[in-house]
Amino acid sequence: MQRKIMSTKEVARYLGVHEKNIYRLARDRRIPGTKLGGKWVFPKHLIDEWIDSNARANFDPEAKKQKKNKLLLCGQQS
């Protein structure tokens, strides 16, 4: 199976963000990629896995239920 390798421009277009954001993420090692001949490259299958794992990490169905059951009181005690 042949895997697609994406450039920073392709990843930015794929994710709908500015290319500079991809450079920052890559520099900070927050997105799966590597430098090849001085240019960043990103295996598409790893980008897809990265999106899935980050989406799962940020999704907590229980958090929504818990927020419904909380009561916030504000004011001064006399």
Map out the domains of the chain with their CATH numbers: 5-60 (1.10.1660)
Q: Give the confidence band of 69 by pLDDT, cuts at 50, 70, 90.
A: low
Q: Give the confidence band of 66 by pLDDT, cuts at 50, 70, 90.
A: low
CA distance 66 to 50: 27
Q: Give the confidence band of 59 by pLDDT, cuts at 50, 70, 90.
A: confident
The pLDDT tens digits for 9-50 are 999 999 999 999 999 999 999 999 999 999 999 999 999 999
Contacts of 29 (CB under 8 A, 6+ apart): none
Both structure tokens of 67? 């927020």
Coil, strand or helix: which one is 3?
A: coil
Both structure tokens of 78? 């006399």
Helix (H) or strand (E) holding 68: helix 61-68
